[in-house]
């Protein structure tokens, strides 16, 4: 009786196969498109808007839009580090506002010391602003690691605290004039937000430098690798001897410093420091990161993607303004684009995992 059940008979003809190689090539092409979707969306936006308005694709408009992008991109780059570890930073808008008020105060009224006011050079003021941002980030990091507060809660708390402190600095008022005087030796704050170099705004150059540095850090350093590992699987990271808490504190510090820098660029551009500078900017920053393919669960995402995401958001907003769409509709369109991005991200993940399973 066993004889009938031993190894199956070979079938005479090979079973028909629905050209698996062709399907695979198609799937790979689709995956390639999905991976580059932020760029695709950007190109589509530019094509649509320049068809509607002849002013869209002019040099001056492109430069203006890119300058708007720069501030959000710098915020988003910092936030990307945090999201890569599986965290979130809701406080970046408030940190930008706080840095703005700290620097505005130092430039306008100076530091109150016994016997008068002390003024610093613009470079020192900018440095102080960035250090303040980094310190606030460090507090976020310590809350998340040592005190085990969920990142959402810790940075939500900081969103209120930092904004409140920003308002306390001037008692809610504005520092209206940041030009400085020769006597105080603090002129030149307009350089970073207003001036251009080689026809391109300094703010854009700063974005390029920050982005380049962030790309190198994320892809070419052990630290970057560890950031991805912490977000990908924290337990495995711990067992690999990675000091997870240090990595987490570091990403919040980076995020805080980037936020402060963005706040200063904005302040310089406006020429005055308001306590509500960059309010709700954290949402634009997170949206840029997500649009660029950063997974909120951590472990996946790129700086290039985030910068692309910032361009999409910036070019979309400015384009809608240019063709005269109401702000209410702008909001609707922006929201829809963000959700659409996540939908395609899911499609990419599915396709990617099915493709990689097939090679196993």
Residues of this chain that interact with another protein (CB under 8 A) are 2, 5-11, 15-18, 20-21, 23-24, 27, 216, 219-222, 225-226, 228-229, 231-233, 235-243, 295, 299-300, 353, 355-360
CB nearer to another protein: give 36 or 232.
232
CB of 154 to another protein, least distance (A): 24
CB nearer to another protein: give 50 or 233.
233
CB atoms under 10 Å from CB of 218, counted, come to 22
Long-range contacts of 106-114 (CB under 8 A, 24+ apart): 107/175, 107/178, 107/180, 107/186, 107/189, 108/175, 108/176, 108/177, 108/178, 108/273, 109/175, 110/184
Longest dimension (CA), the chain: 108
CB of 220 to another protein, least distance (A): 5
CB of 242 to another protein, least distance (A): 8
Give the Å distances, CA to CA, from 307 to 34, 210, 211, 289: 17, 11, 8, 8
CB nearer to another protein: give 174 or 233.
233
CB nearer to another protein: give 24 or 117.
24
CB-based contacts of 235: which residues, under 8 Å, 6+ apart? none
CB of 77 to another protein, least distance (A): 19
CB nearer to another protein: give 101 or 230.
230
The answer to whether the CB of 92 falls within 8 A of the CB of 258 is yes
CB of 352 to another protein, least distance (A): 8
Report the C-alpha gap between 304 and 309 in whole angstroms.
9
């Amino acid at each position: 009786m066993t004889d009938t059940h031993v190894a199956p008979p070979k079938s005479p003809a090979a079973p028909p196969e629905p050209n698996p190689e062709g399907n695979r090539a198609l799937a790979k092409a689709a995956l390639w498109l999905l991976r580059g979707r932020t760029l695709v969306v950007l190109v589509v936006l530019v094509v649509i808007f320049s068809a509607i308005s002849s002013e869209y694709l002019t040099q001056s408009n492109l430069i203006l839009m890119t300058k708007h992008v720069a501030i959000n991109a710098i915020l988003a780059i910092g936030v990307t580090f945090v999201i890569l570890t599986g965290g979130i930073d809701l406080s970046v808008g408030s940190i930008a506002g706080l840095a703005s008020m700290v620097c505005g105060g130092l430039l306008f009224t100076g530091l109150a010391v016994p016997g008068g006011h002390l003024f610093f050079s613009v470079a020192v003021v900018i440095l102080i602003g960035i250090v303040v941002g980094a310190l606030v980030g460090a507090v976020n990091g310590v809350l998340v690691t040592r005190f085990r507060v969920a990142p959402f809660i810790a940075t939500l708390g900081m969103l209120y605290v930092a904004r409140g402190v920003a308002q306390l600095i001037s008692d809610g008022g504005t520092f209206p004039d940041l030009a400085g005087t020769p006597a105080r030796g603090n002129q030149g704050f307009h350089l970073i937000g207003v001036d251009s170099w080689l026809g391109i705004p300094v703010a854009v150059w700063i974005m390029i430098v920050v982005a380049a540095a962030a790309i190198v850090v994320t892809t070419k350093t052990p630290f970057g690798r560890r950031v991805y590992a912490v977000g990908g699987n924290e337990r495995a990271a711990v067992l690999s001897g990675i000091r997870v808490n240090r990595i987490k504190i570091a990403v919040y510090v980076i995020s805080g410093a980037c936020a402060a820098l963005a706040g200063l660029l904005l302040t310089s551009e406006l020429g005055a420091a308001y306590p509500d500078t960059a309010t709700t900017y954290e949402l634009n920053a997170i949206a840029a990161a997500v649009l660029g393919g950063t997974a909120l669960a951590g472990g996946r995402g790129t700086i290039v993607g985030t910068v692309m995401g910032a361009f999409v958001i910036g070019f979309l907003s400015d384009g809608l303004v240019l063709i005269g769409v109401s702000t209410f509709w702008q909001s609707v369109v922006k929201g829809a684009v963000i959700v659409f991005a996540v939908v395609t991200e899911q499609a990419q993940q599915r396709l990617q995992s099915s493709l990689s399973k097939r090679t196993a």
